[in-house]
Structure 1
Amino acid sequence: MRAKVLASAAALAMLFCQPALALDAPTDPVILTITGAITETNSDGAAVFDLPMLQDLPGRTGTMETPWTEGETAFDGPLLRALLEEVGAHGKTLRVTALNDYSAEVPVSDATDYETILALAMNGKPMSVRDKGPLFMVYPFDLNPELYNEKYFSRSVWQIKAIEVIE
């Protein structure tokens, strides 16, 4: 009887404790690499994403004025928090790095407290490197006007190539 109970308990534990599925491998060119304190990877300890993978994440479109664009501009892309959830991020800070190696440290709370996006499109068109793409961290100035200040401007990295999650 005891052996049956132990076997049943073990079977239930295996059923409910299945590991999460690993990230799919990108099929298009990689545009974003995430490293550091993450649990989900698909490439030598990193999580790499191509454009379709990023487009599949939950996101939003926000229309707003920014210091870098003229007039109302629509930005579309995945929510930063959705990306962090996808990779199992468990840190307190993000080091966001651009193609030119500029980087900014961003508190993870900027992803959890706000509808911050990694914009892939501006006014409905994919963002080229010339237009701050392929990824641009855009704070929700449309939803939280109090974020429209130098503190958040300095965290609004464009031409993002990598994010390191720091514990």
Structure 2
Amino acid sequence: MNLRNALTIVATFAVMCFSSANAQNSIPLTVVLVGGEQKELSLEDLDSLDQVSFSTSTIWTDGIHQFSGVPISSLIQHLNANGELLKLYALNDYSVEMPVAELEEEVPIIATRIDGATMSVREKGPYWIMFPFDDSPDYQTESNYARSVWQLKRIDLLE
């Protein structure tokens, strides 16, 4: 292999890595409102809303990590949305329901970062529903574990 071919391979690899990193941050979160209207929210859109952060351990990660993001209740309020039930969908089409009445002001959050860094799809991102599990045994329930959807792609608000 000559130097020119080696440099071409290195440059192509760098472009692919840069494009892949940007693609992770460009995955929108779709919110479908009662009535069918869809809102596409970017990471920047979510970052512009009120943020909450907490440190907790999870059953999916080792040790304690800091999670930060938007409380689901804040997102619903920001969109002037209504509904009685949320249906949460992952990229792999896993879905689970959560009654809106069970949302707290700051819990759960749509985590956009773990330990200050955005999450790639490989790292359970770009969005992950997260509860502060270590704060109370009340968060350590099978229903909350099931609702902790990683690779979140869509939230439907249902009547």
Listed one character per residue, the Cα deviations across residues 96-131 of structure 1 (whole Å, up to 9, x for unaligned) are: 001011001011123236521000101111011011
Residue 105 of structure 1 is matched in structure 2 by 97
TM-score (normalised: structure 1): 0.75
* Aligned counterpart for 1:161 among listed residues 143, 149, 153: 153
CA RMSD of aligned residues (A): 1.8
Change (3 A) 1:124 1:113: closer
Residue 32 of structure 1 is matched in structure 2 by 29
* Aligned counterpart for 2:40 among listed residues 45, 48, 58: 48
Structure 1 residue 45 displacement after superposition: 2.1
Residue 62 of structure 1 is matched in structure 2 by 54
Structure 1 residue 87 displacement after superposition: 1.4
Distance in structure 1 (CA, Å) of the matches to 2:141 and 2:55: 17
Bigger Cα displacement from structure 2, 68-77 vs 137-146: 137-146
Q: Helix, strand or coil for the counterpart of 1:69?
A: coil
Q: Helix, strand or coil for the counterpart of 1:84?
A: helix
Aligned length: 135
Distance in structure 2 (CA, Å) of the matches to 1:30 and 1:111: 25
Residue 141 of structure 1 is matched in structure 2 by 133
Structure 1 residue 63 displacement after superposition: 0.1
Structure with more of its chain in helix, by fraction: 2
AA aligned opposite 1:158: W
Distance in structure 2 (CA, Å) of the matches to 1:29 and 1:159: 13
Distance in structure 1 (CA, Å) of the matches to 2:118 and 2:106: 23
Residue 15 of structure 2 is matched in structure 1 by none
Distance in structure 2 (CA, Å) of the matches to 1:143 and 1:56: 26
Question: Relative contact order, CA 8 A, sep 6+: which one is greater?
Answer: 2
Structure whose CA Rg is larger: 1
Residue 126 of structure 1 is matched in structure 2 by 118
TM-score (normalised: structure 2): 0.78
Distance in structure 2 (CA, Å) of the matches to 1:29 and 1:138: 21
Identity of aligned residues (%): 35
